[in-house]
């Protein structure tokens, strides 16, 4: 099948986007409104950008009425009416239900921390709290918001942030700061309402050395 994306409905494009680009890491983003109300929501259009400086991005799309999601309202720069700050909290198995529940569309100012019962812990460098249970959390200052279709339904927004502080559970890392993926037990998002676990893995060296290896002996626990 060959598809011209411009001939699809936006919803169909969305279904293909989230079904093809898998698995996706999930940023559980905590923010605070300028009035001081906390907010928590998951975003799987999320990734690291670079390590010098340490930068991340996530993408809160516009709502069906073209308005901005609460997280974007809060995280956008002060010059645009937000606080210019957000925390990316880890998404892991032990609170998988709460991650999905925090996608509930509450009215602006109502907190998904209260809905899910997840506790906050204070951040060190910024105002939005982090998720107390998160095995890692990155405190971020918003560098820029890039809008691909401002004011339109499902238009994309890229929030670029600089990580100004890192919280990480000592038990997750060795002395070189290599993270143990089995201990982290991260979850990722697939299409529809499906998720992926990260407990099954295989190791492969990068570059031509990979071709000398036997085919992956999956799954490696
Ligand atoms: C696992 C998961 C990942 C999601 N990823 C995104 C995403 O990348 N972008 C987006 O706009 N919405 C995403 N959503 C939907 C938002 O979380 C949802 O619209 C949420 O209500 C937004 O909250 P807010 O208005 O408090 O910011 C995702 C939902 C789930 C359950």
Q: Hey, where are the domains in the chain?
A: 22-212
DSSP 167: E
Residue nearest atom 5 in ligand 1 by C-alpha distance: 43
Q: Is the pLDDT of residue 79 over 70?
A: yes
Contact 101, 112 (CB under 8 A): yes
Contact 111, 122 (CB under 8 A): no
Q: Is the pLDDT of residue 74 over 80?
A: yes
Residues 6+ apart with CB under 8 A from 88: 27, 28, 29, 46, 56, 58, 137, 138, 140, 161
Q: How far is the CA of 113 from the centre of ligand 1 (A)?
A: 15
From 11, 25, 60, give the residue whose CB has the most ligand 1 atoms within 8 Å, as the site to mutate.
60
Q: Is the pLDDT of residue 220 over 60?
A: no
**Could you tell me the two tokens for 175?**
């002395």
* C-alpha closest to that of 40 among 101, 93, 126, 95: 101
pLDDT tens for each residue of 122-153:
999 999 999 999 999 999 999 999 999 999 99
CATH 2.30.110.10 fits 22-212, yes or no: yes
Side-chain-side CA neighbours of 90 within 13 Å: the count stands at: 22
The least confident of 56-60, 75-79, 199-203 is 199-203
Give the Cα separation of 192 and 124 in Å (integer). Answer: 36
* C-alpha closest to that of 72 among 21, 36, 11, 31: 31
Q: How far is the CA of 188 from the centre of ligand 1 (A)?
A: 13
Q: 143-152: which pairs have CB atoms within 8 A and are 24 or more residues apart? A: 143/55, 144/77, 145/72, 145/75, 145/76, 145/77, 145/80, 149/62, 150/62, 151/62, 151/66, 152/62, 152/66
Question: Average pLDDT, stretch 197-212?
Answer: 91
Does residue 32 line the site of ligand 1, with CB under 6 A? no
Q: Is the pLDDT of residue 44 over 60?
A: yes
Give the Cα separation of 56 and 140 in Å (integer). Answer: 8
| 77/200: higher pLDDT | 77
Does residue 30 line the site of ligand 1, with CB under 6 A? no
Q: How far is the CA of 2 from the centre of ligand 1 (A)?
A: 29
What pLDDT is stored for residue 219 in this prediction? 63
Q: Which pTM was predicted?
A: 0.97
């Amino acid at each position: 099948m060959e598809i011209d994306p411009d001939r699809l409905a936006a919803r169909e494009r969305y279904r293909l986007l989230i079904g093809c680009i898998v698995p996706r890491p999930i940023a559980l983003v905590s923010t605070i409104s300028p009035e001081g109300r906390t907010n928590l929501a998951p975003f799987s259009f999320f990734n690291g950008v670079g390590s010098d400086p340490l930068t991340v991005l996530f993408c809160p799309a516009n709502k069906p009425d073209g308005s901005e999601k609460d997280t974007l309202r809060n995280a956008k720069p002060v010059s645009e009416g937000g606080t210019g700050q957000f925390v990316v909290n880890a998404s892991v198995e032990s609170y998988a239900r709460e991650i999905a529940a925090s996608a509930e569309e509450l009215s602006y100012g109502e907190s998904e921390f209260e809905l899910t019962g997840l506790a906050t812990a204070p951040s060190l460098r910024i105002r939005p709290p982090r998720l107390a249970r998160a095995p890692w959390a990155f405190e971020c200052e918003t560098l820029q918001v890039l809008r691909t279709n401002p004011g339109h339904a499902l238009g994309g927004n890229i929030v670029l942030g600089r990580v100004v502080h890192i919280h990480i559970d000592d038990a997750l890392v060795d002395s070189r700061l290599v993270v143990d993926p089995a201990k982290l037990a991260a979850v990722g998002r697939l299409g529809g309402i499906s998720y992926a676990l990260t407990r099954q893995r295989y190791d492969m060296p990068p570059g031509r050395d990979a071709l000398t290896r036997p085919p992956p002996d999956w799954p490696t626990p």
